[in-house]
Amino acid sequence: MLGSKLHLGSALAVGAFLALPGAASAQQAKQVTFSKDVAPIFQAKCQNCHEPGSIGPMSLVTYQDARPWARSIKQRVESRQMPPWHIDRSVGVTHFKNDMSLTDEQVATVVAWVDGGAVEGNPADFKAKPVAKEMFWAGERDGYGPPDLVIKAPEYTMPAVHQDEWWRPVSDIPVTEPRWVRMVEIRPTNLASRKILHHSIAYHILSPENSAAVNQGIGGRPISLSGSAAQAAADLVNRRPQLMEWAIGKGYDRYLEGTGKLIMPGEKISWDQHIHAAGEEVTGGSEIGLWLYKKGEEPKKRSYLVGFTGLKNGTAGLDIPPNSVAATEGFTVLRENTIITNFQPHFHLRGKAMQVEAIFPDGRTQVVSYVKDFNFNWMTNYIYTDEAAPVFPKGTIIHVSAYYDNTKANKSNPDPEQWVGYGDRTVDEMAHAWMNVVYLSDAEYAERVAKYGEGVTNGVKPVERTQQQQQ
Q: What's the pLDDT at 27?
A: 40
Burial of residue 164 (CB within 10 Å: 0-12, 13-18, 19+) is middle
- What gap in Å lies between CA 214 and CA 274, rounded to an integer? 24
Q: Which amino acid is at 136?
A: F
Beta bridge partners of 272: 201
In the chain, the N- to C-terminal Cα span, in Å, equals 60
CA distances from 297 to 77, 181, 260, 442 (A): 42, 11, 11, 24
Q: Rounded to two decimals, what is the model's pTM?
A: 0.78
Mean pLDDT split into 10-residue runs, the chain, 471 residues: 37 39 46 94 86 77 93 92 88 92 93 94 91 81 93 95 92 96 93 85 90 67 40 55 83 89 95 90 94 93 91 89 96 94 93 97 97 86 94 96 96 94 89 93 95 93 54 49
- Name the nearest CA neighbour of 269 among 215, 201, 214: 201
Q: Helices then strands (H, E): number in the chain?
A: 10, 26
Asked whether 347 and 412 are in contact (CB, 8 A), the reply is no
- What gap in Å lies between CA 427 and CA 348, rounded to an integer? 7
| Dihedral angle sign, alpha carbons of residues 317, 318, 322, 326 | positive
Beta strands in 277-323 (DSSP E): 282-284, 286-292, 301-302, 304-309, 319-320
Instruction: Report helix angle 2-19 to 21-30, nearest 10.
Output: 80
Cβ contacts of 254 within 8 Å, gap of 6 or more? 97, 98, 139, 144, 182, 183, 383
215: left (phi over 0), alpha (psi -120 to 50) or beta: beta
326 in helix, strand or coil? Answer: strand
CA distances from 434 to 85, 110, 315 (A): 16, 33, 17
